[in-house]
């Protein structure tokens, strides 16, 4: 029988809202655990940063009590063309390549009044494929709406964000063996909050995170889910700029149309530091468990979707690490690693994800920036016999020829070596984009 979590979800929402209304914040940050959102970690810092928006007042400078009052409007538009030599992610000899035309409008607004910052915005991604057998099936339009608020104070802070995304499954599966997955679209609704207790230089700091999320597929209804999560990080200063760290969390997935419900628990110990203005990082290691509601039982669903496998209970090590090193004013090196459980997307009950990433960003001049990234990792799908080894390389170069105009090009190589031969593939992508902040 499914566990009913709706009352608990509302309780957590009220808790988060109360927390954000009563505790002041340092800054907008991502969740504690890279697996908290299920999206993992990135290669390195984004290379694109153009313009400063349209302001209704003076500079939005940070003050001792928060921010000077101001409002900024950020309207931007991007157009581009890219190629993909294996859109079906297949290992067969005859791969399907395509040319894709992109339109990416965005509008953001930010307002700061004393110790409170408000943000809201929209960004879209419209893509039209050319050269495939069924172009209309590949075309997509993704949408992202968000709104948030953050508060600053001497003894703590908060951040609350509401987020809606309309996306597609272009990064999932193999359209030769599972065509519905390749063309499916989904809606995701999220509410995420963070609270910070303790001054920046205090001996003890505490951070609390909460997440409410619902995802609904258009076609693959068997993987529709609701999820709720809580996380915490306790930091004890052991040096001038170094801390001992304890972090832990819990997350529950309730699948609407299958018996794949599960809980994940994790706890890690480690250190964090900001030795100088040029070096900061966190390293932590611990244990986690993934507990299905129906361990040892085959996953079934009355709705359309992929074949899961079976529910498998696991206990394994987990870690996260992130190091930013500003080698000099023009060079930033970012190293990252993560290992932890992620919920099922239709293959097995869950997967154990491991990632190692490196990103190097270099400013050749005030106008030219490059980023080189590398990722190696693995996906161990529990409840099935599938294991994937992953490698990816990326090169990104941007040229800002005016304050609000930027030209960006990139190359990405992906390689997947799977124990299920059908899911092994290599893929090359090249893109060129023009971005203009109005």
- Find, among 344, 394, 432, 433, the residue nearest to 44 by Cα: 394
Please provide the average confidence, as pLDDT, over all residues in the chain.
Answer: 81
Q: What is the mean pLDDT of residues 204-230?
A: 91
How many alpha carbons lie under 13 Å from residue 248 in its C-beta half-sphere?
Answer: 7
Q: Write b or e for each residue in 18-55: b if 16 or more Cβ atoms lie within 10 A of its Cβ, otherwise e.
A: ebbeebbbbeeeebbbbbbebebbbbbeebeebbebee
User: Which sign does the torsion angle of CA 306, 310, 311, 314 carry?
Assistant: negative
Question: pTM value?
Answer: 0.82
Segment among 68-77, 98-107, 277-286, 354-363 with least mean pLDDT: 68-77
Residue count (the chain)? 438
Whole-number pLDDT of residue 112: 86
User: What is the model's pLDDT at position 120?
Assistant: 94
- Residue 324 sits at the vertex; the CA angle it makes with 322 and 330, to the nearest 5 degrees, is 155
The answer to whether residue 401 scores a pLDDT higher than 90 is no
- pLDDT class for 404, splitting at 50, 70, 90? confident
Which structure tokens are listed for 192?
A: 């995420």
Q: Report the distance separating Cα 90 and Cα 46, nearest Å.
A: 29
Half-sphere CA count of 65, side-chain side, radius 13 A: 5
The pLDDT assigned to 423 comes to 84
By percentage, how much of the chain surpasses pLDDT 70?
79
Distance CA 378, CA 418 (A): 10
Of 18-27, 147-156, 172-181, 429-438, the poorest mean pLDDT is in 18-27
**The domain 6-437 is classified under which CATH number: 3.40.50, 1.10.357, 2.60.120, 2.40.160?**
2.40.160
Residue 114: CA count within 13 A, CB half-sphere: 3
Higher model confidence: residue 136 or residue 60? 136
Hey, what are 424's tokens? 């092994």
7 has pLDDT over 80: no
Q: How far apart are CA 276 and CA 267, in angstroms?
A: 28
- For residue 88, what is the DSSP state? T
What per-residue confidence (pLDDT) applies to 19?
A: 37
* 310-320: pLDDT as tens digits: 999 999 999 99
The Cα angle at residue 432 between residues 431 and 437, in degrees rounded to 5: 130
Contact 87, 132 (CB under 8 A): yes
Proportion of the chain in helix, strand, coil states, percent, rounded to 5: 5, 60, 30
What's the whole-number mean pLDDT along residues 386-404? 91
Which ranges of 154-255 would DSSP assign to H, the alpha helix?
179-183
pLDDT, one tens digit per residue, over 98-155 is: 999 999 999 999 898 888 899 999 999 999 998 766 667 788 999 999 999 999 787 8
Q: State residue 54's pLDDT score.
A: 52
Q: Is the pLDDT of residue 207 over 70?
A: yes
């Amino acid at each position: 029988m499914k566990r009913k979590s709706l009352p608990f979800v509302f309780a957590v929402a009220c808790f988060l809202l109360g927390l954000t209304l009563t505790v002041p914040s340092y800054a907008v940050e991502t969740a504690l655990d890279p697996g908290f959102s299920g999206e993992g970690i990135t290669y390195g810092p984004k290379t694109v940063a153009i313009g400063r928006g349209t302001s209704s007042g003076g500079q939005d400078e940070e003050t001792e009590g928060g921010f000077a009052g101001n409002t900024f409007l950020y309207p931007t538009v991007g157009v581009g063309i890219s190629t993909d030599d294996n859109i079906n992610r297949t290992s067969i000899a005859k791969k399907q390549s395509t040319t894709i035309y992109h339109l990416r409008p965005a509008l953001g607004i930010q307002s700061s009044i004393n110790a409170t910052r408000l943000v809201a915005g929209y960004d879209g991604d419209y893509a039209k494929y050319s050269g495939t057998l069924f172009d209309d099936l590949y075309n997509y339009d993704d949408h992202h709406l968000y709104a948030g608020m953050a508060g600053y104070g001497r003894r703590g802070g908060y951040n609350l964000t509401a987020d809606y995304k309309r996306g597609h499954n272009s990064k999932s599966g193999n359209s030769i063996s599972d065509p519905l997955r390749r063309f499916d679209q989904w809606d995701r609704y999220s509410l995420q909050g963070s609270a910070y207790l303790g001054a920046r230089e205090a001996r003890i700091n505490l951070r609390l995170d909460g997440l409410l999320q619902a995802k609904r597929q258009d076609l693959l209804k068997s993987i529709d889910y609701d999820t709720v999560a809580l996380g915490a990080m306790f930091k004890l200063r052991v040096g001038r700029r170094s801390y001992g760290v304890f972090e832990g969390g819990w997350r529950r997935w309730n699948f609407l149309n299958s018996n794949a419900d599960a809980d994940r628990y994790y706890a890690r110990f480690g250190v964090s530091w900001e030795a100088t203005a040029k070096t900061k990082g966190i390293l932590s290691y611990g244990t986690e468990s993934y507990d299905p509601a129906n361990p040892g039982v085959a996953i079934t669903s009355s709705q359309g979707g992929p074949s899961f496998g079976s529910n498998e209970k696991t206990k394994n090590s987990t870690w996260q690490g992130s190091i930013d090193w500003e080698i000099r004013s023009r060079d930033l090196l970012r190293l990252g690693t993560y290992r932890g459980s992620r919920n099922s997307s239709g293959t097995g009950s869950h997967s154990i994800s491991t990632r190692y990433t490196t990103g190097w960003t270099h400013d050749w001049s005030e106008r030219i920036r490059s980023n080189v990234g590398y990722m190696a990792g693995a996906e161990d799908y529990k409840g099935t016999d599938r294991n994937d080894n992953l490698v990816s390389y990326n090169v990104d170069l941007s040229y800002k020829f005016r304050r609000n105009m930027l030209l960006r090009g990139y190359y990405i190589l992906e390689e997947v070596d799977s124990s299920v031969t059908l899911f092994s593939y290599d893929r090359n992508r090249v893109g060129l984009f023009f971005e203009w902040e109005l």
